[in-house]
Amino acid sequence: MNILEISHVTKTFGTKAVLNDLSFFVPEHSVFGFIGQNGAGKTTTMKIVLGLLESNQGEVLVNGEKVTFGQNCTNKYIGYLPDVPEFYDFMTPREYLSMCGRITGMCREEIREKSAELLKVVGLEGENKRIKGFSRGMKQRLGIAQALLNSPKLLICDEPTSALDPMGRKEVLDILSSVREHTTVVFSTHILSDVERICDRIAFLHEGKVALRGTLEEIRHIRNGDSIEIEFPTEQDADIFSGIYSGGRKAGRTKLLFCKRTERDMLQMMECLSQNLIPILRMEKLEPSLEDLFLEVVGK
């Protein structure tokens, strides 16, 4: 089942089209990476899904129900973490979650049990100090706990790691990966290494449209071949092979890189090396990174 379906959504601000016939779907219990440059329309899309912004045309379904601007019926299925979550700094984490639980109509016992469970999940179970003293990473983790408080079917995170240091990013990504058993995660980002680490499905947003979408494996195979890197014992060996087998470029003093090559090309290279008695230290097939694919999509 698809927990989120976006069909032919268009959104303009004045004469500027931010989203242009946008369509994609998110299967249940997946971690979905929504990738795009800053200003590509990722946040606009999230606000339309939440019913906070009206689209010019198109339809959005959450758990099979249509999203309607200005109404929050479908938000009962959603937990949301904005890129910069705001808190009441004078509260402790438990006090803040207790307040959020009361607002959503949870009973006292349920709030107590759920708060304890989620604070443990996000690594804040022992924190009793005021939120005012929290680091940015700790606030992001508390924001995830708040977003999961109502046991949502869909957790939406808007640029959750963009302003965090490497350790903070790791902590947040580990949490998002761990909760996939209980919910579906959609997070927008322009940090491609984060997507490669935890996502199983992705969509590239470019000029208001989805330029590429699918599983990581499917998208990596869109390119016609991988790169092949050969490392030689000496620079002279690299130059000799380069003179015999064309199409490579230097990737270091003793390395040659051949882009967009197939397994057949690799076999031909091995045969050429053997026939000409050229020694090598290593031959490696390099799969394209998401950064390579993204740069191709945006034409840079």
Task: Please give the average per-residue pLDDT across 89-99, as a whole number.
Answer: 94
- Report the pLDDT value the prediction gives residue 293, as an integer from 0 to 100: 74
Task: Please give the average per-residue pLDDT across 103-125, as a whole number.
Answer: 92
37 versus 92: the higher-pLDDT residue is 92
Residue 213 near residue 249 (C-beta atoms within 8 A): no
Q: Which of 146, 132, 34, 145 is nearest to 89 (CA)?
A: 132
- Report the pLDDT value the prediction gives residue 44, as an integer from 0 to 100: 93
Residue 227, beta-bridge partner list: 286
Q: Which of 137, 133, 134, 220 is nearest to 174 (CA)?
A: 137
- Report the pLDDT value the prediction gives residue 224, as an integer from 0 to 100: 54
Task: Please give the average per-residue pLDDT across 21-44, as a whole number.
Answer: 90
247-273 per-position pLDDT tens digit: 888 888 999 988 878 888 999 999 999
Residue 186 near residue 32 (C-beta atoms within 8 A): yes
Looking at the predicted structure, is the pLDDT value of residue 133 above 60? yes
How much is the mean pLDDT over the chain? 89
180-220 per-position pLDDT tens digit: 888 999 999 888 888 888 998 999 898 888 888 888 878 77
Looking at the predicted structure, is the pLDDT value of residue 225 above 70? no
Q: Which of 276, 285, 268, 264 is nearest to 236 (CA)?
A: 276
E strand or H helix at 153: none
- Report the pLDDT value the prediction gives residue 124, as an integer from 0 to 100: 92
Task: Please give the average per-residue pLDDT across 26-55, as a whole number.
Answer: 91
- DSSP assignment of 76-131: GGEEEE-SS----TTS-HHHHHHHHHHHTT--HHHHHHHHHHHHHHTT-TT--S-G
- Model-wide pTM > 0.85: no
CA 98/CA 200 separation, integer angstroms: 33
Looking at the predicted structure, is the pLDDT value of residue 149 above 90? yes
Residue 136 near residue 164 (C-beta atoms within 8 A): yes
DSSP helix/strand/coil, 240: helix
- Report the pLDDT value the prediction gives residue 46, as an integer from 0 to 100: 92
E strand or H helix at 17: strand 16-27
Residue 78, beta-bridge partner list: 154
Q: How far is CA 238 from CA 191, 252, 276, 279, in A?
A: 35, 10, 12, 9
Give the distance, in angstroms, between the CA of residue 123 and the centroid of all CA atoms in the same chain: 22
- Report the pLDDT value the prediction gives residue 299, as an integer from 0 to 100: 63
Looking at the predicted structure, is the pLDDT value of residue 223 above 70? no
Show Cβ contacts of residue 139 under 8 Å, excluding neighbours closer than 6 positions: 85, 87, 131
- Report the pLDDT value the prediction gives residue 300, as an integer from 0 to 100: 54
- Report the pLDDT value the prediction gives residue 285, as an integer from 0 to 100: 85
Residue 101 near residue 149 (C-beta atoms within 8 A): yes
- Maximum Cα–Cα distance across the chain: 78
Task: Please give the average per-residue pLDDT across 222-238, as a whole number.
Answer: 84
Residue type, 14: G
Looking at the predicted structure, is the pLDDT value of residue 48 above 60? yes
